[in-house]
């Protein structure tokens, strides 16, 4: 067995793991990032890309914002559509902040490029990964390099589990030491990526008696759209014509809104679930990103929560090395979970307000419409939505 050592071993090269490695590097702390997939895979895996103001600030302050500021689409508001009418929530006026639409895979590309530019250790396509000795001062990660005939043992001071919901890190914590909260929603999203100019310069959240629809975008020439469907929906039942017809119906307005269509480049089904595990730490293992929490995508919080997690984790690790101060490590889980549960609350509220579940009655429909009517006629309610959407402060 080959034996190696680092200060922080990071499992997973998604936004959480890569950004944590970058933040640690800026603080002079060594890390090794291990990823089961190839570089091509992680750089091309399409995910949502709504960045909160705080996430934009973190990427800018750490030297990762050049391409984001050049290619990202800044939105100073969002459009809510119901009962055939459109209402705008002005983020800038209500909060002084905005959001930026910039694909998660683009963030990953920027992070990979930065990691390799300063010769940081980033190992792709590793297998047989497991974490051990988590309750000691020398936890370790065992794994196998591509084509290797022997294992590598990586001794660490800390391990960061940034390997997603289905990763091995959270599963390595004894069941008696962790509590999980889970909710599966009775609907899903059918999402498409289309070669079509966006039909709106800002996102449109549409409530319709046939179900929810969302109009988003990836660039001035590529649109990203979603419509509510059942969790067991078959993509074979959704021809391109049917998708465009249903989106047009759900996004229609009384003043004749026209949805721009085009060739569909990609389509898929996204399940809707909420998940949180407590605590986000076990011994010297710290969980971040999708490993400890999942939010329904309606509130656009997933990657933004990961950024907040690793920002706090990097700060806590730095305090340990510079001042032998473990207080921030002790506070890590509680600090993150306060933000996580607020994001779960907001995302669940957005989901329940815009979607029609199975068994939904006309009474339920009227309550949703009354909620949206109140929201769009109350400045206080709009400010609450705006504050949550652009992102609560990362403190």
Alpha helices in 211-326 (DSSP H): 240-251, 302-323
Alpha-carbon separation of residue 307 from 215, 320, 392 (angstroms)? 25, 20, 12
Residue 87 lies inside a defined structural domain of this protein: no
Rounded Cα distance, 10 and 171, in Å? 16
Q: Which residues contact 250 (CB under 8 A, 6 or more apart)?
A: 206, 208, 210, 211, 212, 213, 227
Per residue in 312-321, pLDDT (tens digit) is 999 999 999 9
- Is residue 205 flagged as an active site residue? yes
Q: Is the pLDDT of residue 256 over 70?
A: yes
Residue 352 has pLDDT above 70, yes or no: yes
**How confident is the prediction for the chain on average, in pLDDT?**
95
Identify the domain containing residue 228 by its residue range. Answer: 184-272+356-390
For residues 75 and 389, the answer to whether their CB atoms sit within 8 Å is: no
Residue 193 lies in a domain: yes
Residue 201 reports pLDDT greater than 70: yes
Mean pLDDT, residues 102-106 taken together: 91
Residues 279 and 336 in one domain: yes
Instruction: Name which of 37-46, 110-119, 236-245 the model is least confident about.
Output: 37-46
User: Does residue 395 register a pLDDT over 70?
Assistant: no
Q: Is 301 a catalytic residue?
A: yes
Summarised one tens digit per residue, pLDDT across range 5-44 is: 999 999 999 999 999 999 999 999 999 999 999 999 999 8
Q: What is the pLDDT of residues 144-191, one digit of tens each?
A: 999 888 999 999 999 999 999 999 999 999 999 999 999 999 999 999
pTM of the model: 0.94
Query: What letter does residue 291 receive in the DSSP assignment?
Result: T
Per-residue confidence at 45, pLDDT binned at 50, 70, 90? confident
Q: Please pick, among 75, 208, 282, 355, the residue that the annotation labels catalytic.
A: 75
Same domain, 210 and 252: yes
Query: Is the predicted pLDDT of residue 328 greater than 90, yes or no?
Result: yes
Phi, psi (deg, nearest 5) at residue 173: -85, 130
Mean pLDDT of 246-270: 94
pLDDT at position 280 is 98
Q: What are phi and psi of 350, to 5 degrees?
A: -60, -40
Which one of the listed residues 143, 205, 226, 332 is annotated catalytic? 205
DSSP state of 7: S
Which among 102, 226, 332, 389 is annotated as catalytic? Answer: 389
Q: Is residue 90 in some structural domain? A: no
Q: What would the two tokens of residue 115 be?
A: 């990691």
Residue of 296, 297, 332, 355 marked catalytic: 297
Same domain, 257 and 109: no
Please state, in angstroms and rounded to a whole number, the distance separating the CA atoms of residues 25 and 20.
Answer: 9
- Distance of CA 42 to CAs 136, 255, 268, 339, Å? 32, 42, 17, 27
Of 139, 301, 332, 355, catalytic: 301
Q: CATH code at 254?
A: 3.30.9.10
85 found inside a domain = no
What is the structure's pLDDT at 169? 98
Together in a domain, 193 and 46: no
Question: What per-residue confidence (pLDDT) applies to 49?
Answer: 85
CA-based nearest residue to 258, from 313, 215, 294? 215
Mark whether 186 is an active-site residue: no
Q: Within 10 Å of residue 129's Cβ, how many Cβ atoms?
A: 19
Compute φ and ψ for 50, nearest 5 degrees. -95, 115
Same domain flag for 144 and 259 = no
pLDDT tens, position by position, 48-62: 789 999 999 999 999
What pLDDT shows up at residue 46?
A: 73
């Amino acid at each position: 067995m080959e034996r190696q050592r680092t200060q922080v071993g990071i499992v997973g090269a998604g936004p959480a793991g890569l950004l944590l490695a970058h933040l640690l590097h800026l603080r002079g702390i060594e890390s090794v990032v291990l990823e089961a997939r190839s570089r091509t895979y992680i750089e091309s895996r399409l995910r949502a890309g709504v960045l909160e103001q705080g996430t934009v600030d973190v990427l800018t302050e750490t030297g990762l914002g050049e391409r984001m500021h050049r290619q990202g689409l800044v939105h100073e508001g969002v459009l809510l559509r119901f009962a055939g009418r459109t209402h705008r929530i002005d983020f800038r006026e209500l909060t002084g902040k905005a959001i930026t639409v910039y694909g998660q895979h683009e963030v990953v590309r920027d992070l990979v490029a930065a990691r390799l530019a300063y010769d940081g250790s980033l190992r792709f396509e590793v297998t047989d990964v497991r974490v051990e000795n988590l309750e000691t001062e020398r936890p370790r990660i065992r794994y196998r390099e591509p084509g290797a005939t022997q294992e590598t043992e990586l001794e660490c001071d800390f391990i960061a589990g940034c390997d997603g919901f289905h990763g091995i890190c959270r599963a390595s914590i004894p069941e008696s030491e962790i509590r999980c909260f889970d909710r599966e929603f009775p609907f899903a999203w059918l999402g498409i990526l289309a070669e079509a100019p966006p039909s709106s310069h800002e996102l449109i959240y549409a409530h319709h008696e046939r179900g929810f629809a969302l109009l988003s975008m990836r660039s001035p020439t590529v649109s990203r759209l979603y419509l509510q469907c059942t969790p067991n929906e078959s993509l074979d039942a959704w021809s391109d014509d049917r998708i465009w017809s249903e989106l047009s119906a759900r996004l229609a307005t009384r003043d004749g809104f026209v949805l721009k269509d085009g060739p569909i480049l990609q389509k898929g089904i996204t399940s809707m679930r909420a998940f949180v595990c407590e605590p986000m730490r076990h011994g010297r293992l710290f969980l971040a990103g999708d490993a400890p929490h999942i939010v329904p995508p309606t509130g656009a919080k997933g990657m933004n929560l990961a950024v907040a997690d690793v920002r706090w984790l990097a700060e806590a690790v730095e305090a340990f090395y510079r001042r032998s101060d473990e207080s921030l490590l002790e506070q890590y889980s509680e600090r993150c979970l306060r933000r996580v549960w607020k994001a779960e609350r907001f995302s669940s509220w957005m989901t329940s307000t815009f979607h029609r579940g199975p068994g939904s009655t006309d009474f339920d429909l009227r309550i949703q419409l009354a909620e949206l009517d109140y929201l769009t006629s109350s400045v206080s309610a709009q400010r609450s939505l705006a504050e949550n959407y652009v992102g609560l402060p990362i403190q």
